[in-house]
């Protein structure tokens, strides 16, 4: 029996965190209708300290989702509408010449990135230069302007959105920047029942009321707990085999792949699995958590080749195929046996 | 409780892994096992044909199976599931979300093991039964397909030499004991038998060897019978000369002398010559005068000696001297006689002898030997009024036929022949 090398949380802590997180999900779900899976993914991203890229048509509630979370968590939030003429300094902040009596000095004026929750709306409309300004901030959670480094507030999350249509005049995010996002989530259209509920509850121009269910400190506590969720060896093995399977030639499914996922993807997948386990009140992650998070973590990090794109095969298709190919159990069974599940 | 649960789960994990490992071994073993059984089926056929001992065949089969199992186990080793793999299979089966793996690593307590559960597998029987069924079918085929033994029949196999050789050997021993045949003839016969025995023992029972032995036997028996017949004829001629004595007309004397001379000539030219002393003694009695010169005592002595020799020859040749004398008497005719009342006769089928049948042909009556069988009575004679004109009467020999007739006349059974004749009526 091997002993865990990292501190693990106990089941009481996990259950308490799960209860808080459930309250958060309920609070957001009371405003964002019909998107429980999306809400869970956002909560997982918060627990994993990851950034989100939301993709969907206008009006599906992407901005509303971010605002709802910021209210429910009592976090500072800023919204930046990315446009082609947006400059990096417009996000990070600029040094301003300030007169103080007889002296003049540059004083750093923080940009909108200095917040807990930054909503980067239609991020693909900004120039690559502006987009890349987010790189350091997203990864290292700090900003350097004129040689001076400024730490971003904790916690710090970037929730970026992009519109899959009207792509003229847009700048697709480079792979390096896409890799910084933990999840890329597709916001789907509401069902008829959801629409009916929205119509009956919401009115145009009226802000929905959101209950504040968690303090910032509680969120940070939960984030710290998520890091203590234990990853059994079978789970780490599964993550490694999944990510390795995205490399061309390393799996049958990878025949459609041009570039596979990075090691950062493996780290992100492990963090997502931990977050999902904590969401379920468990002190250890499972292969189910990995499989459930894989598409959101891996799909935007894998680049399918030209032929596959021509055939309509997307990265999401590839990840589903890979999940079907790579068994959670490392050792395969003979052809005369197949795994049976009773639950 | 926790220790008990850990023990239970680990036991189940080991069982789970063991079942999968066993199936992995079968995965590699079964295709090869089908091949082994195919070889085994051929081996069975060969073994049954060559009458190899069953134990050796089974030993080879079990040995081959063991070797295949060993190779399959070696090939499957990289797929073997460990106890940890078994735990993972169990937790997936039960939906325990890696709880068993985490418990094994000491993070959480073991779940309760009081649940009744089966193995976390679904058995795909179609992957296992077809090779096993094919293996059984192959074994049954090897066991049940009829094959003829390549070895001689047990009787022949147990015999030290072919039966014909034994008969010839018996004849040689009898001739040596009785000293009625010239030693040179016996030596020639012995040399011929030795030449047959000079073959490799493995070829003694070959078809050619058996045929050669049977020919030697038949030829020897034929020579013996001819010698007995000629000796009896010579004896009868001498008896007739002594009986007629001076009253014999010149024609009778000439005929008797000619008959005696023919018998002596046949005896001298025979492959199986009589004792030289006896032949010389007989040769001195070549005419009536010389025969009459013998004193009664000498004549009786010579007669007894000739009768004894004739009896011994008949005994060795398997002839009845009285029957032979009767036949010879029947064909004894003079100038006014025809060929005799019944020079040839029918014999029961049970006394069938290939040698005697070869010696006589109904189509070549000139070469028919006296006393030889010319045909077999193969069915009840039909009443004369029902008998078709072309059929033979009672006592008549059926013609052997010529050309294609020989085939159906010789090869069909009497019942088949009757049916065929009736069909063409």
CA distance A274 to chain B (A): 13
- For position B238, what pLDDT does the model report? 80
HSE (CB half, 13 Å, CA atoms) of A7?
A: 6
Q: Which helix H or strand E contains B377, and what residues bound it?
A: none
Q: Could you tell me whether strands A103-110 and A148-151 are parallel, antiparallel, or unpaired per DSSP bridges?
A: unpaired
ipTM: 0.78
Contact A339 B121 (CB under 8 A): yes
Contacts with A339 from chain B: Cβ below 8 Å: 89, 92-93, 120-122
Of A267, A325, A17, A330, residue with least CA distance to B98: A330
Question: Cα separation of A178 and B199, whole Å?
Answer: 95
Contacts of B85 in chain A (CB under 8 A): 329-331
Whether residue A248 has pLDDT greater than 50:
yes
The answer, for B304 touching chain A at a CB cutoff of 8 Å, is: no
Q: Closest chain B residue to A1 measured between Cα atoms?
A: B105
The answer to whether B24 faces chain A, any CB pair under 8 Å, is yes
- Of A48, A3, A9, whose CA–CA distance to A276 is shortest? A48
323-362 of B, contacting A, C-beta below 8 A:
none
Nearest CA in chain A to B25: A334
Task: Write out pLDDT tens, residues A20-45.
Answer: 899 999 988 888 888 888 899 999 99
Do B92 and A232 lie within an 8 Å CB cutoff? Answer: no
Lowest mean pLDDT among A126-140, A226-240, B20-34: A126-140
Q: Under an 8 A CB cutoff, do A338 and B122 touch?
A: yes
pLDDT reported for residue B17: 92
* Residue to substitute from B107, B111, B130, interface A, most A β-carbons within 10 A: B107
Chain B residue numbers touching A331 (CB-CB < 8 A): 20, 79-82, 85
Average pLDDT per run of 10 along chain B, which is 425 residues long? Answer: 83 91 92 91 85 83 92 92 89 85 85 80 86 90 81 57 84 81 84 86 82 88 84 81 76 79 81 78 73 78 81 79 64 47 49 46 53 55 55 54 63 76 79
Tokens of B3: 């220790």
Would the CB atoms of B93 and A328 count as touching at under 8 Å?
no
Q: Is A237 exposed, middle or buried (0-12, 13-18, 19+ CB in 10 A)?
A: middle
- Chain B residue numbers with beta carbons less than 8 Å from the beta carbon of A235 are 98, 101
pLDDT confidence of residue B299: 80
Nearest to A133 by CA among A147, A144, A118, A122: A144
Distances (CA, A) of B26 to A327, A333, B131, B275: 22, 12, 10, 82
For every residue of B181-240, DSSP letters joined together read: B-HHHHHHHHHHHHHHHTS-GGGTTSHHHHHHHHHHHHHHHHHHHHHHHHHHHHHHHHHH
Model pLDDT for residues A52-91, shown as the tens digit of each residue: 999 888 878 888 888 888 889 888 888 899 888 989 888 8
B92/A contact by beta carbon, under 8 A: yes
For A130-145, what is the mean pLDDT? Answer: 84
At residue B370, the pLDDT reads 57
Residue A104 sits at the vertex; the CA angle it makes with A98 and A107, to the nearest 5 degrees, is 40
A89 in contact with chain B, both atoms CB, cutoff 8 A = no
Instruction: Specify the pLDDT at position B365.
Output: 53
Q: Nearest by CB to B97, which of A2, A286, A331? A: A286
CA gap A17, A226 in Å, rounded:
9
Say yes or no: A6 contacts chain B, CB-CB below 8 A.
no
Say yes or no for a CB contact (<8 Å) between B98 and A339: no
Residue A294 pLDDT level (bands cut at 50, 70, 90): very high
Q: Does A15 touch chain B (CB under 8 A)?
A: no
> If we measure between CA atoms, which residue out of A160, A155, A176, A291 comes closest to residue A226?
A155
Question: CA end-to-end span of chain B, whole Å?
Answer: 103
| Nearest-neighbour CA in chain B from A4: distance (Å) | 7
Q: Please give the Cα distance from B170 to B186 (Å, whole number).
A: 12
Question: What percent of chain A shows pLDDT beyond 90?
Answer: 31
pLDDT in tens, A202-227: 777 777 788 888 888 888 999 999 99
**pLDDT at site B389:** 47
Q: Please tell me the distance in Å from A184's CA to the nearest CA on chain B.
A: 25
Contacts of B119 in chain A (CB under 8 A): 340
Task: Check the CA dihedral B25-B28-B31-B37 and report its sign.
Answer: negative
**Which residue(s) pair with B65 in the sheet?**
none
- Per cent of chain A over pLDDT 70 is 97
Residues of A in contact with B128 (CB under 8 A): 336
- Global pTM value: 0.63
Give the model's pLDDT for residue B166.
Answer: 85
Decide if A285 touches B, using CB distance below 8 A: yes
Q: State the pLDDT at residue B359.
A: 38
C-alpha span between B118 and B90 (Å, rounded): 10
Q: What pLDDT was estimated at residue B262?
A: 84
Partner-chain residue, chosen from A8, A328, A334, that has the shortest CB–CB distance to B107:
A8
Give the number of residues written for chain A. 343
Does B99 touch chain A if contact means CB atoms closer than 8 Å?
A: yes
Q: Nearest chain A Cα to B124, which residue?
A: A336
B276 touches chain A (CB under 8 A): no
- Which chain A residue lies closest to B98 (C-alpha atoms)? A286
Contact B123 A336 (CB under 8 A): yes
Mean pLDDT, chain A, rounded, equals 87
State residue A330's pLDDT score. 83
Rounded-to-integer distance, Cα B70 and Cα B342, Å:
84
**pLDDT score, position A317:** 92
* Chain B hits for A328, Cβ within 8 Å: 88, 92
pLDDT tens, B11-47?
A: 999 999 999 999 999 999 999 999 999 998 888 888 8
Across the interface, of B80, B94, B98, the residue whose CB is closest to A235 is: B98
Best residue of A229, A331, A339, A343 to probe chain B, by most B CBs closer than 10 Å: A331
B121-141 CB burial, b ≥16 within 10 A, e <16: beeeeebbeebeebbeebbee
Taking a C-beta distance cutoff of 8 angstroms, is the pair A257, A274 a contact? Answer: no
Using the beta-carbon criterion (under 8 Å), do A337 and B95 form an inter-chain contact? no
CA gap B48, B63 in Å, rounded? 19
Check residue A40 and give its pLDDT. Answer: 92
Instruction: Round to the nearest angstrom and report the end-to-end CA distance of chain A.
Output: 27
Q: With an 8 Å Cβ cutoff, is A287 touching chain B?
A: yes
Asked whether the beta carbons of residue A337 and residue B98 sit closer than 8 angstroms, the reply is no
Which residue is closest to A332 within chain B, CA to CA? B79
Side by side, the strands of the sheet bearing A157-162 are: A77-81, A117-121, A157-162, A51-55, A181-186
CB atoms under 10 Å from CB of B56, counted, come to: 11
* DSSP per residue, A297-311: HHGGG-EE-HHHHHT
Set of chain B residues whose Cβ sits within 8 Å of the Cβ of A4: 105-107
Paired residues of B419 in beta bridges: none
Which residue(s) pair with A93 in the sheet?
A110
Question: Which chain B residue's Cα is nearest to A280?
Answer: B97
**Which residue of A lies nearest to B109 if distances are taken between CA atoms?**
A11
Rg (CA), chain A: 21
């Amino acid at each position: 029996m091997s002993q865990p090398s990292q501190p693990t949380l106990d089941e009481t802590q996990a259950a308490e965190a799960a209860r808080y997180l459930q309250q958060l999900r309920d609070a957001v779900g009371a405003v964002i209708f019909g998107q429980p899976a999306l809400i869970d993914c956002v909560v997982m991203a918060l627990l994993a300290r990851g950034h989100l890229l939301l993709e969907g048509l206008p009006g599906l509630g992407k901005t509303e989702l971010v605002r709802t979370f910021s209210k429910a968590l009592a976090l500072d939030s800023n919204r930046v509408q990315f446009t082609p003429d947006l400059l990096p300094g417009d996000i990070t902040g600029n040094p301003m010449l300030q007169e103080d009596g007889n002296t003049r000095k540059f004083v750093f004026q923080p940009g909108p990135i200095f917040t807990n929750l930054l909503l980067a709306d239609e991020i693909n409309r900004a120039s690559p230069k502006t987009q890349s300004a987010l790189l350091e901030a997203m990864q290292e959670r700090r900003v350097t302007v004129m040689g001076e480094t400024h730490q971003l507030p904790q916690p710090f999350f970037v929730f970026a959105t992009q519109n899959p249509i009207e792509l003229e005049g847009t700048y697709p995010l480079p792979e390096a920047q896409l890799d910084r996002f933990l999840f890329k989530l597709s916001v789907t259209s509401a069902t008829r029942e959801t629409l009916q509920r929205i119509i009956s509850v919401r009115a145009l121009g009226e802000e929905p009321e959101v209950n504040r269910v968690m303090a910032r400190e509680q969120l940070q506590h939960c984030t710290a707990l998520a890091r203590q969720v234990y990853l059994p060896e079978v789970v780490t093995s599964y993550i490694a085999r999944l990510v390795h399977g995205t490399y061309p030639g390393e799996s049958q499914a990878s025949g459609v792949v041009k570039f596979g996922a990075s090691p950062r993807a493996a780290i992100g997948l492990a963090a997502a699995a931990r977050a999902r386990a904590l969401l379920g009140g468990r002190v250890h992650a499972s292969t189910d958590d990995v499989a459930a998070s894989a598409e959101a973590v891996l799909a935007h990090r894998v680049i399918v080749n030209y032929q596959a794109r021509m055939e309509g095969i997307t990265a999401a298709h590839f990840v589903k195929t890979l999940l079907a190919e790579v068994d959670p159990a490392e050792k395969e069974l003979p052809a005369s046996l197949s795994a049976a599940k009773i639950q | 409780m926790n220790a008990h649960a850990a023990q239970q789960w680990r036991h189940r994990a080991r069982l789970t892994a063991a079942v999968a490992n066993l199936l992995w071994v079968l995965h590699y073993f079964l295709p090869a096992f089908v091949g082994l059984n195919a070889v085994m089926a051929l081996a069975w056929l060969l073994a049954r044909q060559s009458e190899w001992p069953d134990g050796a065949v089974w030993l080879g089969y079990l040995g081959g199976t063991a070797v295949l199992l060993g190779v399959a186990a070696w090939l499957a080793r990289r797929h073997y599931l460990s106890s940890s793999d078994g735990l993972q299979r169990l937790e997936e089966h039960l939906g325990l979300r890696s709880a068993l793996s985490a418990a094994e690593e000491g993070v959480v307590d073991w779940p309760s093991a009081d649940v009744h559960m089966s193995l976390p597998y679904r058995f795909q029987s179609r992957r296992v039964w077809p090779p096993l069924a094919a293996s059984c079918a192959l074994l049954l085929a090897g066991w049940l397909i009829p094959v003829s033994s390549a070895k001689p029949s047990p009787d022949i196999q147990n015999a030290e030499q072919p039966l014909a050789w034994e008969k010839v050997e018996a004849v040689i021993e009898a001739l040596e004991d009785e000293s009625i045949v010239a030693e040179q003839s016996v030596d020639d016969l012995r040399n011929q038998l030795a030449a047959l025995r000079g073959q490799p023992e493995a070829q003694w029972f070959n078809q050619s060897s058996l045929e050669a032995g049977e020919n030697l036997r038949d030829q020897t028996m034929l020579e013996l019978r001819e010698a007995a017949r000629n000796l009896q004829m010579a004896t009868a001629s001498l008896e007739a000369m002594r009986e007629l004595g001076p009253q014999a007309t010149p024609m009778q004397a000439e005929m008797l002398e000619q008959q005696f001379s023919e018998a002596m000539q046949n005896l001298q030219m025979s492959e199986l010559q009589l004792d030289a002393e006896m032949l010389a003694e007989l040769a001195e009695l070549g005419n009536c005068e010389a025969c009459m010169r013998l004193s009664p005592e000498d004549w009786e002595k010579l007669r007894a000696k000739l009768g004894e020799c004739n009896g011994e020859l008949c005994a060795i040749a398997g002839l009845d001297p009285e029957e032979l004398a009767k036949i010879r008497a029947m064909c004894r005719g003079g100038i006014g006689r025809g060929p005799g009342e019944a020079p040839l006769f029918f014999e029961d089928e049970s006394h069938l002898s290939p040698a005697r049948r070869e010696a006589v042909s109904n189509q070549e009556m000139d070469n028919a030997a006296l006393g030889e069988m010319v045909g077999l009575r193969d069915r009840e004679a039909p009443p004369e009024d029902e008998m078709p004109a072309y059929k033979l009467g009672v006592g008549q020999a059926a013609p052997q036929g010529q050309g294609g007739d020989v085939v159906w006349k010789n090869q069909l059974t009497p019942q088949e022949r009757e049916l065929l004749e009736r069909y063409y009526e």
